[in-house]
Amino acid sequence: MRMKGKNVIVTGGASGIGLASVERCLEEGASVVIADLEGGDGQAQAARLDDRCDGRCLFKACDVTDTAQVDRLFADTVAELGSVDAVFNNAGIGGICPTDELEDEEYLKVIDINLNGVFRVARAALRVMYRQGSGSIVNCASILGVFGQSQTAAYTAAKGGVVNMTRTLAIEAAPKGVRVNAIGPGYIDTPLLEALDDDMLQGLIGLHPIGRLGRPAEIANAFLFLASDEASFVTGAHLLVDGGFTAGKS
């Protein structure tokens, strides 16, 4: 039980990588808050998992674009569970559009969720964790935080920002007992990829030397490591979990 007694918040925890991370933390003994949009799958997923794990899974509605909702998520979690020991700052959306056709509204939406949302959640987490003198924040970045890709100007800008913000937060937080890291997934088989057609998917698979897309559980395992005390000397890292995508071309 690598997370026994720990309280964990996973934003975007209702689906894909977030949901797999919720399940993995529950298996390892943590109490977990699924923080996701009102009206999505979060409530039902939490009810399903809560039955299996003796009441250790909760749902709290939270839109990461709303500072008041993010701050309330942390205040309510501390009031109910007593602490926040680890956070997976994972909520995010995709966005594919030629840059010359990308309107302000869509650009700003991707930035507001994928970059500003990570900031809002990290800030709220730091305030709680500084009081505790301990904690681990894991931000979900991407291979597209270190590589460019055609038609993803907003997404790559956001993920690049997440990678470097992680380093700054890690430096600030280290003296206060808080670690901050990022994970850089390759392409992972989740609903986020539903917008891609078969040819695009086959092309993406070919970019991973391992020869397949990643599985959500493979990112959840990386989160578990960074969230747990096993990573006690790891901070400021961007852990690439990408089937060799960033290693280079064959």
> Which parts of this chain interact with ligand NAD (CB under 6 A)?
11-12, 14-18, 36-37, 40, 62-65, 90-93, 113, 117, 140, 142, 185, 187-188, 190-193
Distance (Å, whole) CA 192 – CA 36: 15
Q: How far is the CB of 37 from ligand NAD (least distance, A)?
A: 5
155 is catalytic: yes
For residue 217, the tally of other CB atoms under 10 A from its CB is: 14
Query: In whole angstroms, how far apart are CA 82 and each of 68, 123, 145, 230?
Result: 20, 18, 34, 22
Its sign, for the CA torsion 45, 50, 52, 56, is positive
Which residue number, 85 or 242, has a Cβ lying nearer to ligand NAD?
A: 242
> Catalytic residue among 107, 130, 155, 187, which?
155
Q: How far is the CB of 175 from ligand NAD (least distance, A)?
A: 28
Strand order in the sheet with 57-61: 57-61, 31-36, 7-11, 86-89, 135-140, 178-185, 238-241
Which residue number, 117 or 135, has a Cβ lying nearer to ligand NAD?
A: 117
Which residue number, 201 or 234, has a Cβ lying nearer to ligand NAD?
A: 201
Q: How far is the CB of 138 from ligand NAD (least distance, A)?
A: 11
Residues taking part in catalysis: 155
